[in-house]
């Protein structure tokens, strides 16, 4: 099965499509939760077990006559990323729950490559232009790494100073010129709507890596992907979850995209916790309110976090301030170990798009949580590779070639990447 579609991908896809917790799914297919857990572990984990053929067939039957028999190449189940008929990722509004989850199946398939166990060359010869006109570590490097892990090459430009935009070149000219050099463009730019302007000047795929205070759709996708994977481990589903978004909700583009994406699910409770001057824009609150969700807005951190399944903290986006007087968070706005122990549950996930401002006085998400298993920030960043690989594979139309093209990686890499993350991958 590993040579075909990994059993982990099939099982995760089945649970997503049936909207079942691990416990419910294990009982549906008549196995113990423990057995299901071992089938979901990565192949390289010592605890990993192969799913018996009979169980695989039964999962296939439940899903309607699948799994090896071509479901994953049928167009009805193929992920699509489309903006006005073109392969572009500009806004999270392009997604339905189904299309986001179809993309997650492709991301699951990419995990062995993201974990450096397998390699593929499906994008051999392709070139990515990574154009970043604002500061970035994760998004720039992970889009570049994702493209390279698919076999492509990456060209970068960073900042206005080293781009001919400093000489007055327009977005239109820049985009059209780069399109003659590259097969896809990833753009981050300080102005809202600017990435859509890049997209209008080209027929090659353009990805919005953050347009000012507008959106950051790939971040929202990797955040939801992370929430689903973590919830799967914790025996939860997204429907009915309580999500607390904390901090600069006014300028934080990650929470704008994530709130809209989560609102595609059912019966969520959103607690929007921010200083008064940094509240979530009304148009996003109205969007969430169109679903059957409960929305609470508060500036009381203690009360806001109570009972949350996910606490999604954000950095003060000081670089976007107009006349807001707030400099950083006050100490009583900081999410730290003491607060988490006091108001959060044992299963609460603590997330943050990063970077967190770790300078004294910033009072962003505290580093004293680094050894707390509830802190999911590095699982988020790790998942960014698989999700961004999936985005490229879909935009460039190679997603169906990936599984047949996988070969073993030849080099040695650590079994788990960080000193504290082993347990969640089943590597310990």
Which of 236, 224, 304 lies closest to 269 in space, CA to CA?
304
Select from 1-9, 35-43, 117-125, 131-139 the region that touches ligand CP (CB under 6 A). Answer: 131-139
Under rule CB under 6 A, residue 136 binds ligand CP: yes
Pick from ligand ASP, ligand CP, none: which does 137 bind, CB < 5 to 8 A by kind?
ligand CP
Nearer to ligand ASP, 134 or 399 (CB): 134
Which of 322, 338, 401, 383 lies closest to 72 in space, CA to CA?
401
- Report the nearest approach of ligand ASP to the CB of residue 282 (Å): 20
Under rule CB under 6 A, residue 353 binds ligand CP: yes
* Contact pick of 193, 267, 345, 355 for ligand CP (by CB under 6 A): 355
**Contact string 266-305 vs ligand ASP (x = CB under 6 A):** ----------------------------------------
Pick from ligand ASP, ligand CP, none: which does 208 bind, CB < 5 to 8 A by kind?
none
* Contact pick of 79, 152, 205, 210 for ligand ASP (by CB under 6 A): 210
Question: Which pair of tokens denotes residue 220?
Answer: 């929202």
* Contact pick of 115, 253, 256, 379 for ligand ASP (by CB under 6 A): 253
| Cα distance between residue 234 and residue 25, in whole Å | 13
Nearer to ligand ASP, 255 or 396 (CB): 255
Under rule CB under 6 A, residue 138 binds ligand CP: yes
Q: Which residues contact 236 (CB under 8 A, 6 or more apart)?
A: 21, 309, 347
Select from 36-44, 79-87, 92-100, 132-140 the region that touches ligand CP (CB under 6 A). Answer: 132-140
Pick from ligand ASP, ligand CP, none: which does 253 bind, CB < 5 to 8 A by kind?
ligand ASP
- Report the nearest approach of ligand ASP to the CB of residue 254 (Å): 5
- Report the nearest approach of ligand ASP to the CB of residue 379 (Å): 16
Under rule CB under 6 A, residue 137 binds ligand CP: yes
Nearer to ligand ASP, 8 or 136 (CB): 136
- 139-168 residues in contact with ligand CP (CB under 6 A) are 139-140
- Report the nearest approach of ligand CP to the CB of residue 130 (Å): 11
**Which residues here bind ligand CP, judged by CB under 6 A?**
136-140, 219, 353-355
**Which residues here bind ligand ASP, judged by CB under 6 A?**
210, 216, 253-254, 315, 317, 353, 355
């Amino acid at each position: 099965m590993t040579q075909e579609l990994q059993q982990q991908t099939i099982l995760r896809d089945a649970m997503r499509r049936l909207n079942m917790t691990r416990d419910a799914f294990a009982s549906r297919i008549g196995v113990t939760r423990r057995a299901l857990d071992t089938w979901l572990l990565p192949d390289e984990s010592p605890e990993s077990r192969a799913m018996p053929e009979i169980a695989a067939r039964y999962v296939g039957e439940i899903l309607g006559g699948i799994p090896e028999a071509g479901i994953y190449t049928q167009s009805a189940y193929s992920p699509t990323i489309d903006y006005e008929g073109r392969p572009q990722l500009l806004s999270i509004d392009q997604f339905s729950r189904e299309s986001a989850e179809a993309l997650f199946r492709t991301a699951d398939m990419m995990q062995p490559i993201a974990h450096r166990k397998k390699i593929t060359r499906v994008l051999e010869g392709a070139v990515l232009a990574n154009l970043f006109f604002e500061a970035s570590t994760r998004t720039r490097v992970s889009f570049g790494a994702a493209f390279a892990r698919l076999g492509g090459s990456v060209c970068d430009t960073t900042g206005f100073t080293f781009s001919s935009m400093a000489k007055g070149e327009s977005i239109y000219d820049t985009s059209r010129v780069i399109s003659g050099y590259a097969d896809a463009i990833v753009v981050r730019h300080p102005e809202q709507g600017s990435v859509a302007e890049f997209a209008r000047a080209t027929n090659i795929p353009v990805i919005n890596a953050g347009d000012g205070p507008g959106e950051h759709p790939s971040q929202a996708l990797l955040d939801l992907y992370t929430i689903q994977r973590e919830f799967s481990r914790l025996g939860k589903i997204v429907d009915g979850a309580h999500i607390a978004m904390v901090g600069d909700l006014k300028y934080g583009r990650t929470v704008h995209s994530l709130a809209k994406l989560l609102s595609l699910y059912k019966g969520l409770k959103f607690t929007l916790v921010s200083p008064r001057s940094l509240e979530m824009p009304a148009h996003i609150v109205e969007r969430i309110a169109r679903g059957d969700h409960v929305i609470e807005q508060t500036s009381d951190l203690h009360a806001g976090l109570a009972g949350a399944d996910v606490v999604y903290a954000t950095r003060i986006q000081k670089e976007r301030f107009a006349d807001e007087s707030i400099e950083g968070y006050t100490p009583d706005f900081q999410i730290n170990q003491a607060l988490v122990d006091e108001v959060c549950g044992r299963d609460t996930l603590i997330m943050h798009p990063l970077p967190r401002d770790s300078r004294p006085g910033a009072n962003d998400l505290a580093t004293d949580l680094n050894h707390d298993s509830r802190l999911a920030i590095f699982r988020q960043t790790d998942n960014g590779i698989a999700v961004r690989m999936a985005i490229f594979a879909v935009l460039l139309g190679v997603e169906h070639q990936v599984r047949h093209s996988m070969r073993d990686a030849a080099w040695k890499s650590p079994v788990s990447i960080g000193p504290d993350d082993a347990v969640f991958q089943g590597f310990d």
